[in-house]
Structure 1
Amino acid sequence: MEPSETCCLGLKGNVCSYPRGKVLGGSSVINAMLYVRGNTRDYNSWAEAGNVGWDYESVLKQYEKFEGCQDSNCGLYGKNGELEITTYKYQEPIRDILEDAYKELGYYREYSEEKPLGFWDSFVTINKGTRTNTAKSFIEPIKDRKNLYVALNAEVSQLIVDKSDKTVKGVEVKINEKILKLNAKKEVILSAGAINSPQILMNSGIGPKEHLESLGIDVVTNLRVGENLQDHAIFSFAISVDNSVIKAKTDLDALDDIYQYFMHRSGPLSGVELLNFMGYVNTKNDSIFPDLQLFHTAMGADNVDALEEMARATNLPDELTEAFKESSKHSSNLFITLQVMNPKSTGKILLRSTDPFDKPKIFPNYFSDENNEDLEVLLNGIKLSKKLIQTKTLTQYKAKLVEYTLPNCKEYDFDTDEFWKCSVRNVASHLYHQVGTCKMGPERDPAAVVDPRLRVHGIKGVRVIDGSIMPTVTSGNTNAPIIMIGEKGAELIKEDWLQNIHEEL
Structure 2
Amino acid sequence: MFMDIPVMATMLQFTDANWDYHTEPQKAGCMGMRDGRCAWPRGRVVGGSSVLHSMMHTRGNRRDYDRWAANGNPGWEFASVLHYFKKSENMQIPELRRNKLYHNTEGEMFLQYPNWRTPLSDAFLQAGIETGGKIVDYNGEKQIGYSIIQFTMKNGTRMSTSRAFLHPIKYRKNFQVAKNAMVTRILINPSTKQAYGVEFRKGNKKYVVKATREVILSAGAINSPQILMISGIGPKDHLTEKNITTIMDLPVGYNLQDHWALGGLTFLINTTDSIRMERVATISNIIEYFSTHNGPISAPSGTEAIAFIDTKNPNNDDGYPDLELLFVGGSLVSQPSYKQAFAIDDQIYDEVYGPIQDRDTWMVFPMLLLPESKGRIMLRTKNPYKKPLIYANYFSDNGHDQKVILHGIRKVIELSKTKAFQKYGSRLHDIPLPNCAHHKFNTDAYWYCAMKTITNTIYHHCCTTKMGPKDDSEAVVDSRLRVYGVRGLRVVDASIMPNVPAAHTNAPTMMIAEKAADMIKEDWGISITPT
Change (3 A) 1:271 1:308: closer
Residue 349 (structure 1) aligns with: 377
Q: Which residue of 2 aligns with 1:150?
A: 177
Query: Following TM superposition, by how much is the alpha carbon of 1:284 offset from its aligned partner in structure 2, in angstroms?
Result: 3.0
Match of 1:298 in 2: 329
- SS of match in other structure, 1:338: strand
Residue 154 of structure 1 aligns with an amino acid whose one-letter code is: A
Which of 239, 248, 253 is the matching residue for 2:267? 239
The answer on whether the counterparts of 1:209 and 1:219 sit within 8 Å (CA) in structure 2 is: yes
Q: Cα 1:253–1:195, aligned 2, differ >3 Å: closer, same or farther?
A: closer
SS in 1 for 2:329: strand
**What residue is the counterpart of 1:289 in the other structure?**
320
Q: Which of 359, 367, 370 is 2:395 aligned to?
A: 367
Contact 1:324 1:402 in 2 (8 A): no
Counterpart contact for 1:455–1:464, Cα < 8 Å: yes
- How far does residue 19 in structure 1 lie from its aligned partner after superposition? 1.1
Structure 1 residue aligned with 2:10: none
Comparing 287-296 with 70-79, greater Cα deviation is found at: 70-79
| Corresponding residue SS for 2:212 | coil
Q: CA deviation at 1:424?
A: 0.9
> Residue 104 of structure 2 aligns with which residue?
78
Q: 2:67 aligns with which of 38, 45, 56?
A: 45
Secondary structure of 1:294's counterpart equals: strand
- Residue in 2 aligned with 1:36? 58
Deviation at 1:90, TM superposition (A): 5.0
Q: Deviation digits for residues 130-184 of structure 1, max 9, x if unmatched?
A: 1111111111111111121110011111111111111111111111122222111
Task: Name the SS for the 2:198 alignment partner.
Answer: strand
Mean Cα displacement is larger for which, 469-478 or 241-250?
Answer: 241-250
Distance 2:193 2:418 in 1: 63
1:344 maps to a residue whose letter is: E
2:9 alignment counterpart: none
Amino acid of the structure 1 residue aligned with 2:320: F
Whole-Å separation in 1 of the counterparts to 2:273 and 2:286 = 22
Residues 114, 298 of structure 2: 8 Å contact kept:
no
Q: For structure 2, which runs of at least 5 residues remain unmatched after alignment?
A: 1-22
Q: Deviations over 1:163-220 (max 9, x none)?
A: 1111111111111122222111110000000001001111111111121122221111
**Which residue, 79, 82, 87 being the options, matches 2:113?**
87
Give how far 1:432 is off. 0.9
My pick for the range that moved more, 69-78 or 455-464, is 69-78
Deviates more, 1:222-231 or 1:67-76: 67-76
Q: CA deviation at 1:100?
A: 2.0
CA drift of 1:254 comes to: 2.2
Residues 111, 117 of structure 1: 8 Å contact kept: no
Q: Determine helix, strand or coil for the equivalent of 1:59.
A: helix
Which sits farther off after the overlay, 53-62 or 245-254? 245-254
Q: Is 1:266 aligned to 2:288, yes or no? A: no
C-alpha displacement at 1:70, in angstroms?
2.5
How much has 1:439 moved relative to structure 2? 0.4
Q: Which moved more, 1:193-202 or 1:128-137?
A: 128-137
Alpha-carbon distance in structure 2 between the residues aligned to 1:63 and 1:87: 18
TM-score w.r.t. length of structure 1: 0.93
Tell me which residue corresponds to 2:13: none
More moved, 158-167 vs 463-472: 158-167
Structure 1 residue 285: Cα displacement: 2.3
Q: For the Cα contact (< 8 Å) 1:83–1:137, is it kept in 2?
A: yes
Alpha-carbon distance in structure 1 between the residues aligned to 2:276 and 2:230: 51
363, 382, 389: which one pairs with 2:409?
A: 382
1:257 Cα shift?
A: 1.3
CA distance in 2, matches of 1:258, 1:90: 14
Over the aligned positions, Cα root-mean-square deviation in angstroms equals 2.0
3-state SS of 2:76 partner: coil
The secondary structure found in structure 2 opposite 1:84 is strand
Structure 1 regions of 5+ residues with no counterpart? 501-505
Query: Offset at 1:499?
Result: 5.5
Q: Which residue of 2 aligns with 1:455?
A: 482
Any idea what the Cα deviations from partners look like across 1:268-287, whole Å, max 9, x if unmatched? 22232752310001223266
**After the TM superposition, which residues 338-487 of structure 1 pair with which residues of structure 2 at under 5 Å, given as runs?**
338-369=366-397, 371-487=398-514
Distance 1:178 1:91 in 2: 48
